[in-house]
Amino acid sequence: MSAIDFWLKTSRVAKKLETSDELGAASRRFGLPRRDFMQFAATLVASMGLPTSAFGAVVNALTYAKRPSVIWMQFQECTGCTESLLRAEHPTLDKLILQLISLDYHETLAAAAGHQVEAARRAAMEANKGKYILVVEGAIPVKENGIYCKIGGRTAIDLVKEAAADAAAVISIGSCASWGGMPSTSPNPTGASSVATVIGKPVVSIPGCPPNPYNFLSTVVHFLTFGALPELDAKGRPKFAYGRLIHENCERRAHFDAGRFATQFGDEGHRQGWCLYKLGCKGPETYANCPSILFNDCGAGAWPVGTGHPCIGCTEEGVGFTKPIHSLAQLKTVSPPTQFARPGEEQGQGATAVTAGAAAVLGGLAIGAGVKLANNLGKRDDADEKARGGKP
């Protein structure tokens, strides 16, 4: 039983709310059984790092708050962030779009196209002036006045500045929008830049390639519940999702501390699930909650390191798409043990010839040092005795 399930089963607040009319309305709105909706709401509360006392407020916001208008724009990107959103299960995309938010513009998901969909975007922005949420997917190319990305004859620079001007909040989703991502890698021929750099106003960044959809969802729910965005770190990322290093919550952390490392893909250490630090894992210098909330509701291990590949640091500017994938990470908080066990070391087989020889050498040195020390101590005793006028 998960901690959330345990809380729902034992909490007086949860038990009282489960039979309330309010929860019945929420259940009908989202088309979920009461218990499933409660689990969804409790998961959001936990993922945002809120106290359990906020559970009622989140449920109330999900049930009665007016759906915010969302304008979702796409520029230099691969649509991976949208694909990630399509795979959300709690709630599914149809519940997200129809019940939680009003997705009034999205080039990939819109039924309309061309002049019709652009007219819908302008109408939604005018009708919800100062209240809509702008979500930007993809980097903004700024070189040569932005000619490398145009929609309807207008550059991405013009479009994003226009949309950001009257937005209640701007969210850059994915690493490309957050800090340039893959399009900005050297030599960056298009001048791919972050959304914040182009619009010159505060932006909530949800980096990742792709980001976890629940980090975006939790940010929107926080805005719905409290009328404000969640607490951000120095890089504009929600602290509830990017407040701790991946390394701190990694299921392979114990192997790191014990000095057990895979050194090649497929070696004994790799097959046994040992730490991937020596294969270039960037978890020790990357802030994200990947090992905590996983991906695609597939169960345990559903994230890169869990499946056997090093973290590439995709949520971290200056790491993902900048450092070579298999170069060693910069250790921000802890260092590996100074005495590494060999990744292929057999356990419980006694000393090898090498270790036995090393022990003999060290033992011999220790014995020799002991004899020398005793000899020196004896000479010092004789000298002291002579100084006192006695016989040695």
The residue among 195, 221, 242 that closes a domain is: 242
Same domain, yes or no, for 141 and 179?
yes
Position 14 scores a pLDDT of 64
Same domain, yes or no, for 74 and 101?
yes
Position 357 scores a pLDDT of 43
Same domain, yes or no, for 275 and 197?
no
**CATH number of the CATH domain containing 306:** 4.10.480.10
Position 373 scores a pLDDT of 38
Same domain, yes or no, for 129 and 212?
yes
Position 280 scores a pLDDT of 95
Cis geometry, peptide bond prior to residue 284 (ω within 30 degrees of 0): no
**CATH number of the CATH domain containing 194:** 3.40.50.700
Phi and psi angles of residue 357, each rounded to the nearest 5 degrees, phi first: -65, -40
Domain range for 12: 3-61
Same domain, yes or no, for 140 and 193?
yes
Same domain, yes or no, for 291 and 324?
yes
Position 369 scores a pLDDT of 43
Mean pLDDT (10-residue bins), the chain, 392 residues: 56 66 72 75 76 77 80 94 82 68 87 88 93 94 94 93 94 95 94 94 93 88 86 93 93 92 94 94 95 82 92 94 91 69 46 41 44 44 50 50
Same domain, yes or no, for 128 and 207?
yes
Q: Could you please report the per-residue DSSP string of 109-164?
A: T-S--HHHHHHHHHHHHHHTTTTPEEEEESBEE-GGGGTT-EETTEEHHHHHHHHH
Distance CA 341, CA 258 (A): 8
The residue among 194, 215, 242 that closes a domain is: 242
Same domain, yes or no, for 15 and 160?
no
Same domain, yes or no, for 83 and 221?
yes
Rg from Cα positions in the chain: 29
Position 320 scores a pLDDT of 92
For residue 183, count CB atoms less than 10 angstroms from its CB and return exposed for 0-12, middle for 13-18, buried for 19 or more. buried
Same domain, yes or no, for 378 and 365?
yes
What Å distances lie between residue 383 and 206, 295, 375, CA to CA? 76, 76, 13
How many domains are there within the chain?
A: 4
pTM of the model: 0.75
Same domain, yes or no, for 360 and 344?
no
Same domain, yes or no, for 315 and 386?
no
CB-based contact 32:18 (threshold 8 Å): no
Position 370 scores a pLDDT of 44
The residue among 216, 242, 268 that closes a domain is: 242
The amino acid occupying position 356 is: A
Q: Smallest Cα–Cα separation from 216: which of 238, 184, 248, 245?
A: 238
Residue 41 tokens, joined: 């709401």
